Structure 1
Amino acid sequence: MRTRLQIRTINHYKNRNRDKINHILEFFPTMKFWIGVVSNDHVKIGIKEGFAQFGHGKLSPIKRLGNGDIIIYYSPREEMNVKSLAIKGFTAIGVVEGKIPYNPPGPARVKVKYLKTKKYLHIHDVLDNLTFIKNKKRWGILFRRSLFEINKQDFMLILKNMVDEEIYKQPKMLFSLQDVFLYIELFILAYTIKFFYDVIYLAYFSPLRMIPGPKHFALTKYFVSKKHTNGMRWKWLQYELFPEYGPVVRIAPQAVIIADPDMIKEILVIKDLPKNQKYDQLRTNLSIPTLLTTRDKTFHKKRRQIVAPAFSFKYLNSIEPLIHNCVKPLLIKFDEMVDQNQNIVNIYEMIHYCVLDITGETIFGGSFRFIETGNHPLPHKIFQELRRMIKLGMFPFLKPFIKQDPYILNFMTSLIKNRRQEDPERKDLLGMLLNASERSMSDIELHYQAIEFLIAGSDTSSFSSAMTMIKLIQNPDKLDTLFKEIDESFPEFNIDKLPSHDKLKQLPYLNAVINETLRLHPINYDIGPGRITIEDTIIGDYFFPKGTTLAVNAYRLHHSSKYWGDDVEEFVPERWLNPERIPKDCFLPFSAGTRNCIGQNFAMMVIRIIVATLIQKYKFEDILNQDMDIVHYLTPSLKTKQYNVKIYSRN
């Protein structure tokens, strides 16, 4: 039984609606195109002048159809021999490639191998829309199979579309419900194969199976990620995981955490392994790499060269007066509280505000004036952004549901706009970024790089400064020792001439106090910088296959009695006065290698000036039984954001 593509003849349309057809004939008197239907392993084609009609009848010479011509064909059913071309219920557009056999007087029959399909259109779409095909000088209109109607407005739209080349260059792909189910089945199959690969091979046959660790953690990375959601995973690592399994532990199907100094040195310095994919998810904007989050070593080198002058010793010496100007409001605030007998201060919060002001003044061209204005939303917004970034790092599929708060971006946009208008020539980090934006950075790259410095710079320096003060206040004997050292170097306190950094960096006990604080409270409490093996690699006594994430844990290294002795958990600055007591390669407060912290000299300068100035001017007394829980998302912080102390003037 012959299957026909039911298209009415042009005479039918002339009789039914002569006016509408005359519009078309007037503009396109010689319009020709080819229509066919799938049958067995051929596409049968009937050709008639004007509109085409399938089936027997008077045919134009078949040689007029040749290589490169376009055929519109319909598949009323799925033919076994032409599945690659024929999809049931679809109209398709094919291009002839090769010779066309001519078998008069019947219709032309194009073999499948001579017909290359370019596009599929579902038949329901064909019923409601006109499709335009352009082949050199030949135009074709694929219209409704049983009825062709057109009004003047639609006809003018046809003319407009026919001269719009883009409609041919980028055709719309439409799929049937059958295709959708097929793709779903393929996705499920692929996911199932991957799942069993992860579970069976990685858990039980991978070379990593020889590395100790919780057995169920080898099945999926979900377990270790889940422990990070409350910011307390570092405690589990320190007090449960490492004590049970040792310094090298498998924590996921393709991830190992390491707290061995020799292996860490080989990972970060000797081999300088690249960062893993997790850093892509830590970007404030996923499509824009920054100095901290980029995995591209070439990009990192170029970006670091741009900003390095802002962290040089020469530049740091030049900004010391700016740091002093930001510390003075803190002193004035404390003086006011002492004068009013308000002796209890939140030392953690006040130092955080002070460091934010220093960051604004020295890096972005102006103090944020947090100390003077009091409560400000920015610190809380930074904390929220850190939590958002770490959640995306753990669960990237949550990106559509965890929206970025526009506050920080708007804050930075306003800051940069004002800076460009007021003082574009100022030599600070923002000025260098602005100059770079004119050469090699777009405005949006500038914004997100600046946001990274704001978050990373202020949060880490403020935490270290605050924890140094807290450890001293909790240990009055150490505080008194430090005061004596500072008092000997700076006998007179003068608010207009605060302790100079050139002298402060020479004070051994001050540096010992800071180093001991950084040992006990490093910036990296948690799993730490993830590096990835780009080939099968042997590090220490372990074999790591290509694609293994190697995470470094500085906190465990800093708290290991094997390297630091039995007093490892005690605050003992004196250990730093004897170089022989410091274990080699076991102190990593700012990481190591080419990806170490670019702002470490800036951070040390800020800590020295804040701590020395406060110790010189005030007496502090601890308030017992306060919550000292520390949470670590991207950086560490006190869970309560609060540590209260009693303050008195030394005068």
Structure 2
Amino acid sequence: MEPFYYLILVGISLPVWAVSYWAVPYFTTYKHLKQIPGPLICKFSNIWLALGARQGQKYAWVDQAHRKYGKIVRVRFNHVSIATPEGLHTVYAHGNGFLKDTFYEAFVSGVPGVFNVRHRGEHTRKRKIIAHAFSPGAVQDFETHMSANLERWVRQLDNIATHPDPEGYARMNMMPWCTFLAFDIIGDLAFGAPFGMVSRGRDECEASLPGKPITYVPGAETLNRRGEVSSTLGLLPEIRPFAKYLPDPFFTKGLSSVENLHGIAENSVAKRLEASEKGYFEGKKRNDILEMLCNAKDSSGNPMPRAELVSEALTQLIAGSDTVSNTACAVIYWILSGERSKPGSVVSRLQAELDAAIPADSQIAAHHQVKNLKFLRQCIDEGMRLHSTSAIGLPRIVTAQHGVSYGEHHFPEGTVLSVPSYSIHHDADVWGPDVEEFKPDRWLNLTPRQKVCFNPFSYGPRACVGQNVAHMELALIVGTAFHRYDFKLYQPRLESHEGFSKKPLKCWVGIKNRRHV
């Protein structure tokens, strides 16, 4: 009879536990959110948003919730999403004292880096060190490394273009080639040498794991899985300690990717430091991110510890490869999509501007040639608006003792708030009825509200420290691509999958050289 009574006990205990864990907080701790609309399950748990993350569509689920329920939506039991430009100032502005949500703890590998550190003082210390490496003057010195990788990239694209179809275009998927280039550039900038993806034409990086020989892992695939699993576990902290034991391969493979990605950073930093010690750079200063991190000192004059150095280099690898590759591919797609919708309205204008700035015999663009090109910048900004690589609402915890108010709502201390970039970038109330169209000329006459709304690099003290580098890379990649090649777009729309950032699944184009090579 004992098993029978045991089953009865379990049958009684589980509902009691569920009520106390989910229902009681709804009526007590978070009763102030009862009137905020949203999916029913979000009033009690994080499961709805975690399922969206598990499927790589969190940004889309949140956007659909806003379209159904309005500008202010409850997306977790203690988390409210505000889909307005004005919400950016409330949630992310300097001086509001908000902290990053515990969501970010799932992204820590080793010690916290500037991206995932939650302590305000530690973030300030780290950002001061890293900001020096991304000052406008420092960024100009990065062009040599970018150009060398860009030259290898166009040689590979030239080779692809030598195998055309009867219409003169060679068929290629642009997404992996943008990934190879972005990984090699950030490898050069953050670790002293490219990963060699462009030269090999495949997704491959060396990784060093504790107690194991150096091995090769797919860098981009590893990064994508790490983003997916960390975004999901960040919303389900209860299962994080034993996630690796779950039968779902999403978690086992994802957590292995977390280890592999840290191993890539460990191996790359070790190789770079060894090269410096052995004098492989012949006493020359390498003017890259890792050089500046190695030479950085804190307020007490101490250098950055090795574990922190690896974590910050890993942050640069993630931020500098994933976001740039996704955005470059998406911008190329949207330029071609805009041309397909209105032939003669985009590509011819862009190529005329590029041809006037870049000599005809130049293999690649130089930054001084493209950095001030207005139509190129309009195309890049419009592509970033439509694709929104950083698409999710970055969660912040209200820490002010008396809370914060937005409109008619008051959010006390402990409430989590966010503003979803994808949703505000696609808000017809802000951008007009043509919000889903690629219209570069909308950037000629932005309204004040539209200027505030554009949020590709976040906002406030936690905004992306590397946006100067990103702008340079995008101008060089997109400028070089459309100056050197003609493209034909084959796919009807751009489908995306989201880990932490939003990644195009594929971008099939035809390519041919504009000039004899």
TM class by shorter chain equals 0.7 to 0.9
- Is the alpha carbon distance of 1:624 and 1:382 closer, same or farther for their aligned partners in structure 2, counting shifts above 3 Å? closer
The C-alpha deviation readout for 1:54-77, integer Å capped at 9, x for no partner, is xxxxxxxxxxxxxxxxxxxxxxxx
Point out which structure has higher relative CO (alpha carbons under 8 A, 6+ apart).
Answer: 2
CA contact (8 A) 1:202 1:254 kept: no
Quick one: distance in 1 between partners of 2:408 and 2:16?
38
1:576 to 437, 440, 443: 443
- Bigger strand fraction: 1
- Is the alpha carbon distance of 1:520 and 1:415 closer, same or farther for their aligned partners in structure 2, counting shifts above 3 Å? same
SS in 1 for 2:199: helix
Quick one: distance in 1 between partners of 2:419 and 2:99?
13
1:365 aligns with 2:181: no
CA contact (8 A) 2:91 2:418 kept: no
- Is the alpha carbon distance of 1:503 and 1:337 closer, same or farther for their aligned partners in structure 2, counting shifts above 3 Å? closer
The C-alpha deviation readout for 1:32-51, integer Å capped at 9, x for no partner, is xxxxxxxxxxxxxxxxxxxx
Quick one: distance in 2 between partners of 1:252 and 1:392?
14
Pairwise mapping of residues 198-277 of structure 1 onto structure 2 (< 5 A)?
198-202=25-29, 206-238=31-63, 240-270=64-94, 271-277=96-102
CA contact (8 A) 1:353 1:371 kept: yes
Quick one: distance in 2 between partners of 1:623 and 1:196?
51
The C-alpha deviation readout for 1:596-649, integer Å capped at 9, x for no partner, is 0001110010000011111111111111346x321112111123xx22211111
Partner of 1:467: 330
Partner of 2:434: 567
One-letter amino acid matched to 1:404: S
Q: Could you list the runs of 5+ residues in structure 2 that have no partner in the other structure?
A: 1-11, 205-217, 245-251, 278-284
SS in 2 for 1:646: strand
CA contact (8 A) 1:266 1:272 kept: no
Partner of 2:7: none
CA contact (8 A) 2:132 2:138 kept: yes
Partner of 1:481: 349
The C-alpha deviation readout for 1:126-164, integer Å capped at 9, x for no partner, is xxxxxxxxxxxxxxxxxxxxxxxxxxxxxxxxxxxxxxx
Partner of 2:222: 381
Pairwise mapping of residues 130-169 of structure 1 onto structure 2 (< 5 A)?
none
C-alpha deviation, 1:220, in angstroms? 1.8
Bigger mean CA offset, 562-571 vs 366-375: 366-375
Quick one: distance in 2 between partners of 1:584 and 1:328?
35
Partner of 1:349: 176
Q: TM-score, normalised by structure 1?
A: 0.66
The C-alpha deviation readout for 1:242-268, integer Å capped at 9, x for no partner, is 122111111222110011222221221
Quick one: distance in 1 between partners of 2:44 and 2:163?
61
1:330 to 138, 146, 153: 153
- Is the alpha carbon distance of 1:201 and 1:573 closer, same or farther for their aligned partners in structure 2, counting shifts above 3 Å? same
Quick one: distance in 2 between partners of 1:461 and 1:579?
25
2:488 to 612, 621, 632: 621
C-alpha deviation, 1:188, in angstroms? 11
Partner of 2:235: 394
The C-alpha deviation readout for 1:340-365, integer Å capped at 9, x for no partner, is 43711111111111111111112221
Quick one: distance in 2 between partners of 1:594 and 1:409?
26
Q: Could you list the runs of 5+ residues in structure 1 that have no partner in the other structure?
A: 1-184
- Is the alpha carbon distance of 1:217 and 1:409 closer, same or farther for their aligned partners in structure 2, counting shifts above 3 Å? closer
What count of residue pairs does the alignment treat as equivalent?
A: 457
One-letter amino acid matched to 2:28: Y
SS in 2 for 1:244: helix
C-alpha deviation, 1:509, in angstroms? 0.4
Quick one: distance in 1 between partners of 2:373 and 2:426?
25
1:457 to 314, 320, 339: 320
Quick one: distance in 2 between partners of 1:219 and 1:212?
13
Quick one: distance in 1 between partners of 2:400 and 2:107?
21
C-alpha deviation, 1:219, in angstroms? 1.9
Partner of 1:13: none
C-alpha deviation, 1:475, in angstroms? 2.6
One-letter amino acid matched to 2:332: M
CA contact (8 A) 2:457 2:463 kept: yes
Quick one: distance in 2 between partners of 1:417 and 1:279?
26
2:113 to 266, 271, 290: 290
Q: TM-score, normalised by structure 2?
A: 0.83
C-alpha deviation, 1:561, in angstroms? 0.8
One-letter amino acid matched to 1:470: Y
- Is the alpha carbon distance of 1:230 and 1:252 closer, same or farther for their aligned partners in structure 2, counting shifts above 3 Å? same
Rg larger in 1 or in 2?
Answer: 1
Partner of 2:374: 508
C-alpha deviation, 1:494, in angstroms? 1.6
